[in-house]
């Protein structure tokens, strides 16, 4: 079977932009893809939502519950989602036999991405595993040749309100068995005029570019302000000490005191330089991670035990954790730095005589999640933070105005480095703020989701 993948991808995008009638678009997409690839079933997942599907057996629609992914092991789901076609037995994933009546299905799949961010999953299912023996390597996994187009399609669908249809027994009024070049030409000519979805996407993209321009301008301003603010005092200190040493020959004791002052000023400048260089390396280089199964409870205890107060603010660190926490798959050096940065951040910005609360707990596995996660939180009371500003805390060189006014040391890169490190470990970080019981204060909580090592199901 010869497939022109560029034409197929374009026709799928046309279908999203100019859908015929009021049929659910993901079902139409699944039908067109199934007919083009001669598969028995196509499952179409947009974002993290419940899957849509089309089957040659006559069942179509949106899966009504979360049991679609049950009974499929994380290892099998991960292999399929990463492009490894597998022929499954009834025990490995019974859904295909019980609902779709495919006795020995071959399931192929691929994750979809847009601008580097995962936005969905596509599965194709075939009932003839014997064809694997005759398929050449060039013919296998056609989804890979459509991956870019599928990512664009799922991004378009993420911006629309999809219906919550249950199972549909029939799909009337739409014939997608052939690509109509005249219709395709017509739809291309009228994309912007006739497609509300494309108009929405275009406007969103324009706004995004404008926001990016404003963000870049703000970033440049922050860099100039912070570098000027944070380097002025150390440089002035060094200049003053050098001038004093030149003016009056010091005693050995005075010389040692002034050298200590210079060392402290140098340490501040070196810390700024080190963070900037580390962030550059993390963003631009492929880092060789040393991934091991780590006991996260012991590791976090060690970091807390070696965490010394930055100031005389009497901060107490409370550590609460579940017993029997599973190990995580991570790089020891990276994970320690993440914990150290978050504790240092909490110490810098926590109000005096308050507690820093660290928690560690096991997370339950949810639908479609390949691996379980360990949840780790860092909470502290701080000066009231506007909810609109929380999203900027991970931006490079971002600092709240009250932080600058309070002369708290730092260049606004610690949390940026933390987010970069945790993402390289396939984890996630988020932040929320809630009003404190103390007026004018906020309880800030950073939440880490760290993948388990996989040693325990």
Q: What is the pLDDT of residues 244-289, one digit of tens each?
A: 888 888 888 888 888 999 998 888 888 888 888 877 777 765 567 8
What's the pLDDT at 136? 41
Evaluate if residue 360 carries a pLDDT over 90: yes
For 330, other C-beta atoms within 10 Å of its C-beta total 29
Q: Where along the chain do the CATH 3.30.565.10 domains lie?
A: 287-457
What's the pLDDT at 168? 62
Q: Where along the chain do the CATH 3.30.450 domains lie?
A: 5-194
- Are 338 and 303 spatial neighbours (Cβ–Cβ below 8 Å)? no
Mapped onto helix, strand or coil, the DSSP state of residue 138 is coil
Residues above pLDDT 70, as percent of the chain: 80
Please choose, from the candidates 45, 22, 21, the residue with its C-alpha nearest in 3D space to the C-alpha of residue 33.
Answer: 45
What is the rounded average pLDDT for all residues in the chain? 80
Fold (topology level) of 212-285: Helix Hairpins (1.10.287)
Please choose, from the candidates 423, 421, 405, the residue with its C-alpha nearest in 3D space to the C-alpha of residue 413.
Answer: 421
What's the pLDDT at 455? 44
Residue 426 phi, psi dihedral angles, 5° rounding: 65, 25
How far apart are alpha carbons 88 and 92 in whole angstroms?
6
- What class has domain 5-194? alpha beta
What pLDDT digit, counting tens, does each position of 135-164 carry? Answer: 444 445 688 888 888 988 888 888 666 766
For 1-19, the DSSP string reads ----HHHHHHHHHHHHHS-
HSE-CB for 170 with a 13 A CA cutoff: 2
What pLDDT digit, counting tens, does each position of 50-82 carry? Answer: 899 999 888 888 888 878 888 888 888 888 888
For 376, other C-beta atoms within 10 Å of its C-beta total 26
- Are 98 and 67 spatial neighbours (Cβ–Cβ below 8 Å)? no
Q: Where along the chain do the CATH 1.10.287 domains lie?
A: 212-285
- What class has domain 287-457? alpha beta
- Under 8 Å CB-to-CB from 319, ≥6 apart: which residues? 300, 301, 304, 358, 359, 360
- pTM greater than 0.85 (yes/no): no
């Amino acid at each position: 079977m010869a497939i022109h993948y560029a034409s197929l991808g374009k026709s799928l995008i046309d279908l999203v932009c100019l859908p015929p009638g009021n049929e659910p678009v993901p079902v139409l997409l699944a039908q067109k893809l199934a007919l083009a690839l001669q598969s028995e079933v196509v499952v179409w997942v947009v974002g993290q939502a419940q899957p849509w599907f089309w089957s040659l057996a006559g069942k179509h629609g949106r899966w009504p519950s979360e049991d679609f992914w049950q009974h499929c092991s994380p290892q099998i789901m991960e292999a399929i989602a990463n492009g490894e076609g597998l022929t499954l037995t009834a025990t490995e994933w019974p859904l295909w036999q019980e609902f779709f009546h495919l006795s020995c299905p071959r399931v192929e799949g691929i994750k979809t991405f847009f601008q580097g961010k995962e936005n969905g999953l596509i599965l194709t299912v075939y009932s003839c595993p014997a064809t694997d023996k005759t398929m050449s390597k060039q013919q296998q996994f056609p989804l890979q040749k459509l991956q870019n187009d599928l990512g664009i399609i799922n991004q378009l669908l993420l911006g629309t309100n999809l219906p919550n249809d249950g199972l549909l027994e029939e799909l009337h009024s739409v014939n997608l068995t052939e690509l109509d070049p005249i219709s395709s030409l017509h739809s291309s000519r009228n994309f912007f005029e006739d497609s509300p979805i494309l108009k929405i996407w275009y406007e969103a993209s324009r706004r995004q570019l404008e926001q990016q321009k404003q963000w870049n301008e703000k970033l440049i301003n922050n860099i100039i302000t912070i570098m000027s603010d944070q380097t002025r005092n150390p440089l002035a200190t060094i200049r003053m000490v050098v001038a004093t040493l030149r003016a009056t020959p010091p005693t050995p004791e005075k010389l040692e005191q002034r050298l200590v002052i210079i060392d402290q000023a140098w340490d501040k400048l070196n810390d700024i330089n080190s963070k900037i260089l580390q962030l550059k390396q993390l963003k631009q280089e492929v880092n060789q991670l040393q991934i091991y199964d780590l006991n996260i409870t012991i590791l976090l205890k060690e970091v807390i035990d070696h965490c010394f107060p930055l100031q005389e603010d009497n901060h107490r660190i409370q550590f609460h954790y579940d017993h029997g926490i599973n190990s995580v798959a991570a790089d020891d050096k990276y994970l320690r730095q993440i914990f150290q940065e978050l504790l240092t951040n909490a110490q810098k910005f926590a109000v005096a005589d308050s507690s820093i609360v660290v928690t560690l707990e096991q997370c339950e596995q949810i639908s479609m999640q390949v691996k379980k996660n360990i949840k780790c939180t860092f909470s502290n009371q701080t000066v009231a933070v506007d909810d609109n500003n929380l999203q900027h805390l991970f931006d490079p060189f971002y600092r709240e105005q009250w932080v600058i006014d309070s002369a708290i040391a730092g260049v606004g890169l610690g949390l940026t480095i933390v987010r970069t490190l945790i993402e390289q470990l396939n984890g996630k970080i988020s932040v929320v703020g809630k009003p404190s019981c103390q007026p004018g204060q906020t309880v800030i909580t950073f939440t880490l989701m760290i993948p388990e090592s996989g040693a325990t199901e």
